Structure 1
Amino acid sequence: MTTTNTEAIAIDQFVDAPPSKVWRTLTDPQLHARWWVPGDIAATVGHRFHLQMPGWGAVACEVLEVIPEEKLVYTFNESWTLTWRLAAEGKGTRLFFEHSGFDFDQKSERDAFNRMGPGWRDKVLPQLAQTAAQLTD
Protein backbone atom coordinates (compact mmCIF):
# COMPACT_ATOMS: atom_id res chain seq x y z
CA MET A 1 0.00 0.00 0.00
CA THR A 2 1.37 3.41 -0.96
CA THR A 3 0.67 6.56 0.96
CA THR A 4 0.65 9.93 -0.72
CA ASN A 5 2.17 12.94 0.98
CA THR A 6 -0.49 15.59 0.41
CA GLU A 7 -0.45 19.16 1.65
CA ALA A 8 -2.84 22.13 1.66
CA ILE A 9 -2.75 25.90 1.48
CA ALA A 10 -4.86 27.40 4.27
CA ILE A 11 -5.68 31.12 4.53
CA ASP A 12 -7.79 33.10 6.99
CA GLN A 13 -9.00 36.35 5.36
CA PHE A 14 -11.20 39.02 6.95
CA VAL A 15 -13.70 40.55 4.52
CA ASP A 16 -15.37 43.87 5.34
CA ALA A 17 -18.76 42.65 4.08
CA PRO A 18 -21.46 40.39 5.51
CA PRO A 19 -21.54 36.68 4.60
CA SER A 20 -24.38 37.28 2.10
CA LYS A 21 -22.15 39.53 -0.01
CA VAL A 22 -19.14 37.23 0.28
CA TRP A 23 -21.35 34.32 -0.79
CA ARG A 24 -22.57 36.26 -3.84
CA THR A 25 -18.96 37.10 -4.71
CA LEU A 26 -18.02 33.40 -4.56
CA THR A 27 -21.02 32.01 -6.44
CA ASP A 28 -22.15 34.61 -9.00
CA PRO A 29 -20.29 33.99 -12.29
CA GLN A 30 -20.07 37.72 -13.15
CA LEU A 31 -18.65 38.61 -9.74
CA HIS A 32 -16.34 35.58 -9.76
CA ALA A 33 -14.79 36.85 -12.98
CA ARG A 34 -14.07 40.22 -11.32
CA TRP A 35 -11.95 38.87 -8.47
CA TRP A 36 -10.46 35.70 -9.97
CA VAL A 37 -11.33 34.12 -13.35
CA PRO A 38 -14.39 33.58 -15.56
CA GLY A 39 -16.37 30.41 -15.10
CA ASP A 40 -19.88 29.04 -15.03
CA ILE A 41 -19.93 28.39 -11.27
CA ALA A 42 -23.21 27.69 -9.44
CA ALA A 43 -23.85 26.81 -5.80
CA THR A 44 -25.53 23.47 -6.55
CA VAL A 45 -24.09 20.13 -5.40
CA GLY A 46 -23.09 18.09 -8.44
CA HIS A 47 -22.83 21.13 -10.74
CA ARG A 48 -19.95 20.64 -13.17
CA PHE A 49 -18.34 23.80 -14.44
CA HIS A 50 -15.11 25.20 -15.87
CA LEU A 51 -12.85 28.00 -14.72
CA GLN A 52 -10.91 29.72 -17.50
CA MET A 53 -7.38 29.79 -16.09
CA PRO A 54 -4.75 31.88 -17.88
CA GLY A 55 -2.06 29.56 -19.21
CA TRP A 56 -4.06 26.43 -18.37
CA GLY A 57 -7.30 26.94 -20.28
CA ALA A 58 -10.57 25.49 -19.04
CA VAL A 59 -10.14 23.68 -15.72
CA ALA A 60 -12.90 21.20 -14.88
CA CYS A 61 -14.57 21.61 -11.49
CA GLU A 62 -17.46 19.99 -9.64
CA VAL A 63 -19.37 21.30 -6.63
CA LEU A 64 -19.17 18.82 -3.75
CA GLU A 65 -20.81 20.65 -0.84
CA VAL A 66 -23.00 23.72 -0.40
CA ILE A 67 -24.26 25.32 2.79
CA PRO A 68 -25.56 28.72 1.62
CA GLU A 69 -23.61 31.64 3.08
CA GLU A 70 -21.49 29.21 5.13
CA LYS A 71 -19.56 26.70 3.01
CA LEU A 72 -18.73 25.97 -0.62
CA VAL A 73 -16.52 23.06 -1.66
CA TYR A 74 -15.57 22.11 -5.20
CA THR A 75 -12.95 20.14 -7.05
CA PHE A 76 -10.39 22.04 -9.08
CA ASN A 77 -8.81 19.78 -11.72
CA GLU A 78 -8.56 16.08 -11.04
CA SER A 79 -6.74 16.17 -7.71
CA TRP A 80 -7.31 19.47 -5.89
CA THR A 81 -10.21 20.68 -3.76
CA LEU A 82 -11.09 24.27 -2.86
CA THR A 83 -13.00 24.81 0.38
CA TRP A 84 -14.50 28.18 1.30
CA ARG A 85 -15.98 28.58 4.81
CA LEU A 86 -17.65 31.82 5.90
CA ALA A 87 -18.26 32.96 9.47
CA ALA A 88 -19.92 36.24 10.45
CA GLU A 89 -17.55 38.46 12.40
CA GLY A 90 -18.86 41.81 13.57
CA LYS A 91 -20.12 43.62 10.47
CA GLY A 92 -17.90 41.48 8.25
CA THR A 93 -16.98 37.90 7.44
CA ARG A 94 -14.09 35.68 8.39
CA LEU A 95 -13.29 33.66 5.26
CA PHE A 96 -11.41 30.43 5.80
CA PHE A 97 -9.97 29.10 2.56
CA GLU A 98 -8.24 25.79 1.90
CA HIS A 99 -6.70 24.54 -1.34
CA SER A 100 -5.96 20.88 -0.69
CA GLY A 101 -4.71 17.80 -2.48
CA PHE A 102 -1.16 18.80 -3.47
CA ASP A 103 0.92 15.66 -3.90
CA PHE A 104 4.37 16.55 -2.59
CA ASP A 105 5.78 13.35 -4.04
CA GLN A 106 5.53 15.10 -7.42
CA LYS A 107 7.86 18.05 -8.10
CA SER A 108 5.27 19.81 -10.28
CA GLU A 109 2.79 19.69 -7.38
CA ARG A 110 5.37 21.06 -4.90
CA ASP A 111 6.16 23.86 -7.35
CA ALA A 112 2.45 24.65 -7.80
CA PHE A 113 1.99 24.72 -4.01
CA ASN A 114 4.91 27.15 -3.63
CA ARG A 115 3.55 29.45 -6.37
CA MET A 116 -0.10 29.30 -5.45
CA GLY A 117 0.19 29.94 -1.72
CA PRO A 118 1.46 33.51 -2.16
CA GLY A 119 -0.91 34.04 -5.11
CA TRP A 120 -3.96 33.13 -3.06
CA ARG A 121 -2.80 35.07 0.02
CA ASP A 122 -1.41 38.21 -1.61
CA LYS A 123 -3.57 38.63 -4.70
CA VAL A 124 -6.67 36.48 -5.17
CA LEU A 125 -8.23 36.56 -1.69
CA PRO A 126 -7.60 40.31 -1.23
CA GLN A 127 -9.29 40.87 -4.63
CA LEU A 128 -12.25 38.77 -3.46
CA ALA A 129 -12.43 40.82 -0.24
CA GLN A 130 -12.33 44.09 -2.18
CA THR A 131 -15.02 42.94 -4.64
CA ALA A 132 -17.36 41.83 -1.82
CA ALA A 133 -16.81 45.04 0.16
CA GLN A 134 -17.74 47.15 -2.89
CA LEU A 135 -21.07 45.36 -3.53
CA THR A 136 -24.23 47.35 -3.00
CA ASP A 137 -27.40 45.68 -1.79
Structure 2
Amino acid sequence: MTDNTIRLTRRFPHPPQAVWKALTTPDLLARWWAPGDIAPTAGHRFTLDMGAWGTQQCEVLSVDPGTSISFLFAEGTLDTTVTWTLEAVEDGTVLHLEHAGFKLDTPMGQQAFDGMGSGWPGVLSRIDDVLVDAARP
Protein backbone atom coordinates (compact mmCIF):
# COMPACT_ATOMS: atom_id res chain seq x y z
CA MET A 1 0.00 0.00 0.00
CA THR A 2 1.31 3.43 -0.94
CA ASP A 3 1.39 6.19 1.67
CA ASN A 4 -0.75 9.10 0.47
CA THR A 5 0.51 11.57 3.06
CA ILE A 6 3.17 14.27 2.88
CA ARG A 7 4.97 14.78 6.21
CA LEU A 8 7.51 17.51 6.88
CA THR A 9 9.12 18.96 9.98
CA ARG A 10 10.75 22.39 10.31
CA ARG A 11 12.48 23.96 13.30
CA PHE A 12 12.20 27.72 13.87
CA PRO A 13 14.14 29.85 16.39
CA HIS A 14 10.90 31.62 17.34
CA PRO A 15 8.31 30.93 20.04
CA PRO A 16 5.22 28.85 19.23
CA GLN A 17 3.01 31.95 19.50
CA ALA A 18 4.85 33.55 16.57
CA VAL A 19 4.62 30.42 14.42
CA TRP A 20 0.92 30.03 15.30
CA LYS A 21 0.31 33.62 14.29
CA ALA A 22 2.08 33.06 10.93
CA LEU A 23 -0.15 30.03 10.28
CA THR A 24 -3.49 31.52 11.30
CA THR A 25 -3.37 35.26 10.55
CA PRO A 26 -4.62 35.98 7.00
CA ASP A 27 -2.17 38.78 6.11
CA LEU A 28 0.83 36.75 7.39
CA LEU A 29 -0.34 33.52 5.71
CA ALA A 30 -0.64 35.44 2.43
CA ARG A 31 3.00 36.49 2.70
CA TRP A 32 4.40 32.96 2.86
CA TRP A 33 1.75 30.69 1.28
CA ALA A 34 -1.52 32.01 -0.15
CA PRO A 35 -4.03 34.80 0.38
CA GLY A 36 -7.10 33.61 2.24
CA ASP A 37 -9.45 34.35 5.09
CA ILE A 38 -8.34 31.59 7.45
CA ALA A 39 -9.48 31.76 11.09
CA PRO A 40 -8.53 29.28 13.86
CA THR A 41 -12.14 28.31 14.55
CA ALA A 42 -13.53 24.82 13.92
CA GLY A 43 -16.19 24.93 11.22
CA HIS A 44 -14.84 28.15 9.66
CA ARG A 45 -15.09 27.98 5.86
CA PHE A 46 -12.52 29.94 3.88
CA THR A 47 -10.82 30.15 0.52
CA LEU A 48 -7.16 30.20 -0.44
CA ASP A 49 -6.07 31.90 -3.66
CA MET A 50 -3.51 29.49 -5.07
CA GLY A 51 -2.73 31.62 -8.12
CA ALA A 52 -2.39 29.45 -11.23
CA TRP A 53 -4.07 26.55 -9.36
CA GLY A 54 -7.18 28.62 -8.66
CA THR A 55 -9.18 29.41 -5.56
CA GLN A 56 -9.45 26.46 -3.20
CA GLN A 57 -12.34 25.95 -0.80
CA CYS A 58 -11.31 24.98 2.72
CA GLU A 59 -12.91 24.28 6.10
CA VAL A 60 -11.26 24.21 9.51
CA LEU A 61 -11.86 20.74 10.96
CA SER A 62 -10.20 21.05 14.37
CA VAL A 63 -8.20 23.51 16.44
CA ASP A 64 -6.15 23.23 19.59
CA PRO A 65 -5.31 26.94 20.00
CA GLY A 66 -1.60 27.61 19.78
CA THR A 67 -0.84 23.93 19.20
CA SER A 68 -2.59 22.53 16.10
CA ILE A 69 -5.01 23.31 13.31
CA SER A 70 -6.40 20.91 10.74
CA PHE A 71 -8.40 21.86 7.68
CA LEU A 72 -10.00 20.34 4.62
CA PHE A 73 -8.10 21.62 1.58
CA ALA A 74 -9.49 21.92 -1.95
CA GLU A 75 -12.96 20.72 -1.02
CA GLY A 76 -14.72 19.16 -3.98
CA THR A 77 -11.54 18.57 -5.98
CA LEU A 78 -8.65 17.11 -3.96
CA ASP A 79 -10.46 16.79 -0.62
CA THR A 80 -7.20 16.48 1.31
CA THR A 81 -6.46 17.46 4.90
CA VAL A 82 -3.68 19.80 6.01
CA THR A 83 -2.64 19.62 9.66
CA TRP A 84 -0.07 21.87 11.29
CA THR A 85 1.13 20.90 14.77
CA LEU A 86 3.49 23.03 16.86
CA GLU A 87 5.91 21.60 19.38
CA ALA A 88 7.64 23.97 21.82
CA VAL A 89 11.33 23.23 22.19
CA GLU A 90 14.04 24.92 24.23
CA ASP A 91 15.28 27.11 21.38
CA GLY A 92 12.01 27.76 19.54
CA THR A 93 9.36 25.71 17.79
CA VAL A 94 9.15 22.57 15.71
CA LEU A 95 6.40 22.70 13.10
CA HIS A 96 5.00 19.40 11.88
CA LEU A 97 3.08 19.43 8.60
CA GLU A 98 0.90 16.56 7.52
CA HIS A 99 -0.95 16.83 4.20
CA ALA A 100 -3.06 13.68 3.91
CA GLY A 101 -5.74 12.00 1.85
CA PHE A 102 -4.40 12.22 -1.70
CA LYS A 103 -6.24 9.86 -4.04
CA LEU A 104 -3.23 8.27 -5.70
CA ASP A 105 -5.41 6.14 -7.97
CA THR A 106 -6.50 9.24 -9.91
CA PRO A 107 -4.32 11.31 -12.25
CA MET A 108 -5.20 14.56 -10.44
CA GLY A 109 -4.53 13.04 -7.01
CA GLN A 110 -1.16 11.63 -8.06
CA GLN A 111 -0.15 14.88 -9.79
CA ALA A 112 -1.13 16.93 -6.71
CA PHE A 113 0.75 14.54 -4.41
CA ASP A 114 3.90 14.74 -6.53
CA GLY A 115 3.66 18.52 -6.97
CA MET A 116 2.89 19.32 -3.35
CA GLY A 117 5.46 16.81 -2.14
CA SER A 118 8.18 18.74 -3.92
CA GLY A 119 6.53 22.14 -3.33
CA TRP A 120 5.85 22.11 0.41
CA PRO A 121 9.54 22.36 1.48
CA GLY A 122 9.94 25.61 -0.45
CA VAL A 123 6.64 26.96 0.82
CA LEU A 124 7.59 26.24 4.44
CA SER A 125 10.98 27.90 3.98
CA ARG A 126 9.15 31.17 3.24
CA ILE A 127 7.70 31.28 6.77
CA ASP A 128 11.11 32.49 7.98
CA ASP A 129 10.48 35.81 6.25
CA VAL A 130 7.33 36.55 8.29
CA LEU A 131 8.26 35.13 11.70
CA VAL A 132 10.11 38.25 12.77
CA ASP A 133 6.91 40.27 12.21
CA ALA A 134 4.77 37.56 13.81
CA ALA A 135 6.92 37.65 16.96
CA ARG A 136 5.98 41.29 17.57
CA PRO A 137 3.10 41.88 20.01
Q: Fold match, TM over 0.5?
A: yes
What is the SS of the residue equivalent to 1:39? coil
Letter in 2 for 1:54: G
In the TM superposition, residue 129 of structure 1 has moved relative to its aligned partner by 3.3
Q: What CA RMSD, in Å, does the superposition of the two structures yield over aligned residues?
A: 1.6
Matches for 1:1-137 after TM superposition, within 5 Å: 7-78=4-75, 79-121=79-121, 123-135=122-134, 136-137=136-137
In the TM superposition, residue 118 of structure 1 has moved relative to its aligned partner by 1.6
In the TM superposition, residue 17 of structure 1 has moved relative to its aligned partner by 0.8
> Are the counterparts in 2 of residues 16 and 129 from structure 1 also a CA contact under 8 Å?
no
In the TM superposition, residue 86 of structure 1 has moved relative to its aligned partner by 0.2
Letter in 2 for 1:65: S
> Are the counterparts in 2 of residues 16 and 133 from structure 1 also a CA contact under 8 Å?
no
Q: 1:60 and 1:104, CA in 2 relative to 1: closer, same or farther beyond 3 A?
A: same
Letter in 1 for 2:42: V
TM normalised by structure 2 equals 0.90
CA displacement 1:73-93 (0-9 Å, x = unmatched): 001012110000000011310
Q: Which one has the bigger strand percentage?
A: 1
Gaps of 5+ in 1: none
Instruction: State the identity as a percent.
Output: 42
Runs of 4+ off more than 2 Å: 133-137
Alpha-carbon distance in structure 2 between the residues aligned to 1:64 and 1:12? 21
In the TM superposition, residue 72 of structure 1 has moved relative to its aligned partner by 0.4
> Are the counterparts in 2 of residues 10 and 96 from structure 1 also a CA contact under 8 Å?
yes
What is the SS of the residue equivalent to 1:42? coil
